[in-house]
Structure 1
């Protein structure tokens, strides 16, 4: 429950703080004061298992001691010298080269997911041949809140309607197929239409996409989707730009989700899992793209906080632990357990219309009725709030709850969190009958 200390702090800040917080913050009404590993503590001393991992950022959990030590040591020495080389940058480059597919051997460093997506768009514009002046993207995609990222998916704000330069293809949203087909008898028609309208067009320079759509509710593509699209893009000279801001860094059980979906991107954007919640982003690409003469101009990969020593220190510590402790294996093992337990919850709770995911990234879609599949955001909010009261934090968005716990949780914590989720589902069903 939100105690007196938290209510006081929320009241004080509301007098000055602009509205527009995330749905989970607005509904949750919590004031967190500390975090260790998988556990958060609020201002009234209540503790929570964090199955949202910050904002899907805390791959190693909160305040991992090696990341804290690296940041503390770096903070004593140097914070910002623009994008000059610093002592750890070469080592981070080499570590990324060991973790990423071999063809992605060239990197640029930024501060946020939206910033690195914008950098990828600039790179595409720089290398695109004459006539290839449009971009492809997927419906339901999310690439950030800056103007370029918004225009990719034609996301308007208020009364402002800016004409996007992108062509939108169908996402592999099997649960709510816009073509009203059923997999596998559909023959993956959505992929064929992406090929027809994007991959095969001579005026498309790149397809920008999330391999697994995150903000849309963890939409996992069926077999055959990316294989068809990727091959067609490659054959027609359309660059593949994988937005792995959310999935990159091992969240799905491989360092890139692209690896297990059969995608060979030309550019990849990474951010959330790179530096344990410290603002840091990476643009990784093939050398023929990121070393193209049109990109090799002063300032093209620089910004105020790009390559800052603190972000590099946090990323180097995070990825070192990820590799040394074989956490990708841990993600796959725990992901299998999570999949089995969530399948059981789906069988037991009719309000769960669909449960889908990979590794330690899952989406629970709430419906009023499984036959009509009418979205039930009110049920998602009620379960989210009840789970918080019981001591479990998830990620809320519309009629979706996302589960994305830290990679470092153990089997007992996973079971405990899912027991709390089961209890929240049961109690919500009882009061909403």
Structure 2
């Protein structure tokens, strides 16, 4: 339960703070004051294993000493000189060139995920051939809250509709197939339709997509989905823009989720865990796109906080540790443990309709019963709160709870976190009997 000191502070800020916080924050009502590794401490001294890793940002856990040292050193030297060159930026470029597929050899730096998605859209629009004035995206996708990012997925607010010029294709949501088919007998029909309506259309310039759809509940594509789509895009001149803001940097068990799924994108957006939660984003791309004369007009990759030395320092420190300590390998190993432990929970609790994931990114989909598959957001909320009271922080959104521990979590703490999740499920299901 939320302690008295936290309740007092929450009451103080509510007098001035605008509503609209995330669901997990509004429900959880916690005030965190310290983070060390995979453990958070609140204002009343209670501790929590952080299976949400900040907001899926803390790849190295909270306050990793090497990231703290890099930020502290840089903060004492230089904060912002617009987009002038710095030693750190050159070194980050060289580091990314070692970590990313060799064809992604050109970079631009920004401050947020939505900002880098907008930069990718500008690049696409700049190099698109005449007549290619539409952009493809996937249903259930999420690319940020700016207008351009919202327009991609037809996310309207109030009475304002901004569908823009995007064409939506079917995402590979096998558990709730919009075509009422079953994999694999479906022949991956959703991919066939994306190919037909987006990849093979002469007026489409690019397909913007999440390789694994994160905000939608960790939707992992089945074999055959991306093979069909990416080949058709390549054959028809449609650029592939992989939004790896959430997955990039090793979260799924390879540096890019695209690599695991056999996708060779033309542009990739990175943010979140690549700088341990410090505001930073990178656009990586083929030189044929990002060095195209039309894409390189003055100011096209500049903004007030883009290229700032602090963000670059945090990214360099984070990615150097990821590479040096072979943390992507560790993600695969711990991900296999998560797969096994979560499968056990699914077998025990009927409210878990589907459990899916890749590496250290998993989604638990809550249902009323497995036959109807009716979404159960109220049960998800109860489990989220019960887990929080037991000392486990997760990430909730609607009827799905996402799990994304830091790459650096040890096996014992990972097991303890899953055990606490099981206890939360027990508490909620027993109370409903």
Please, what TM-score do these two structures have when normalized by structure 1?
Answer: 1.00
Residues 101-122 of structure 1: per-residue CA shift (max 9 Å, x gap): 0000000000000000000000
Q: Check the 8 A contact 1:226/1:261 in 2, yes or no.
A: yes
CA distance in 1, matches of 2:160, 2:298: 34
Name the counterpart of 2:38: 38
Does the alignment pair 1:329 with 2:329? yes
Task: Give the paired residue count.
Answer: 433
RMSD, aligned α-carbons: 0.4
Question: What does 1:141-180 correspond to in 2, within 5 Å?
Answer: 141-180=141-180
Name the counterpart of 2:228: 228
Question: What does 1:100-111 correspond to in 2, within 5 Å?
Answer: 100-111=100-111
Residues 84-109 of structure 1: per-residue CA shift (max 9 Å, x gap): 01121111000000000000000000
What runs of 5+ residues in structure 2 fail to find an aligned partner? none
Name the counterpart of 1:47: 47
Question: What does 1:9-408 correspond to in 2, within 5 Å?
Answer: 9-408=9-408
CA distance in 2, matches of 1:295, 1:166: 20
Task: State the 1:308 CA deviation.
Answer: 0.3
Q: Check the 8 A contact 2:109/2:281 in 1, yes or no.
A: yes
SS in 2 for 1:248: coil
Q: Check the 8 A contact 2:135/2:206 in 1, yes or no.
A: yes
Q: Check the 8 A contact 2:112/2:281 in 1, yes or no.
A: yes
CA distance in 1, matches of 2:409, 2:184: 35
Residues 302-360 of structure 1: per-residue CA shift (max 9 Å, x gap): 00001100000000000000000000000000000000100010000000000000000
Q: Check the 8 A contact 1:153/1:164 in 2, yes or no.
A: no
Task: State the 1:163 CA deviation.
Answer: 3.1
SS in 1 for 2:61: coil
Task: State the 1:82 CA deviation.
Answer: 0.2
Q: Check the 8 A contact 2:152/2:163 in 1, yes or no.
A: no
Q: Check the 8 A contact 2:153/2:163 in 1, yes or no.
A: no
Task: State the 1:425 CA deviation.
Answer: 0.3
Task: State the 1:380 CA deviation.
Answer: 0.4
Task: State the 1:295 CA deviation.
Answer: 1.2
SS in 1 for 2:249: coil
Q: Check the 8 A contact 1:213/1:220 in 2, yes or no.
A: yes
CA distance in 2, matches of 1:302, 1:147: 19
CA distance in 2, matches of 1:330, 1:8: 41
CA distance in 2, matches of 1:35, 1:136: 40
Task: State the 1:33 CA deviation.
Answer: 0.5
Task: State the 1:395 CA deviation.
Answer: 0.2
CA distance in 1, matches of 2:88, 2:136: 36
Q: Check the 8 A contact 1:380/1:398 in 2, yes or no.
A: yes
SS in 2 for 1:77: coil
Task: State the 1:164 CA deviation.
Answer: 2.2
Residues 2-42 of structure 1: per-residue CA shift (max 9 Å, x gap): 00000000000000000000000000010000100000000
SS in 2 for 1:150: helix
SS in 2 for 1:136: strand
CA distance in 1, matches of 2:235, 2:253: 29
Residues 32-68 of structure 1: per-residue CA shift (max 9 Å, x gap): 0010000000000000000000000000000000000
CA distance in 1, matches of 2:120, 2:164: 17
Task: State the 1:432 CA deviation.
Answer: 1.7
CA distance in 2, matches of 1:246, 1:219: 13
CA distance in 1, matches of 2:189, 2:139: 15
Q: Check the 8 A contact 1:354/1:366 in 2, yes or no.
A: yes
What runs of 5+ residues in structure 1 fail to find an aligned partner? none
CA distance in 2, matches of 1:276, 1:242: 20
SS in 2 for 1:159: coil
Task: State the 1:274 CA deviation.
Answer: 1.0
SS in 2 for 1:186: coil
CA distance in 1, matches of 2:331, 2:274: 16
Does the alignment pair 1:420 with 2:420? yes
SS in 1 for 2:107: strand
CA distance in 1, matches of 2:140, 2:167: 13
Please, what TM-score do these two structures have when normalized by structure 2?
Answer: 1.00
CA distance in 1, matches of 2:310, 2:164: 36
CA distance in 2, matches of 1:244, 1:24: 22
Q: Check the 8 A contact 1:127/1:295 in 2, yes or no.
A: yes
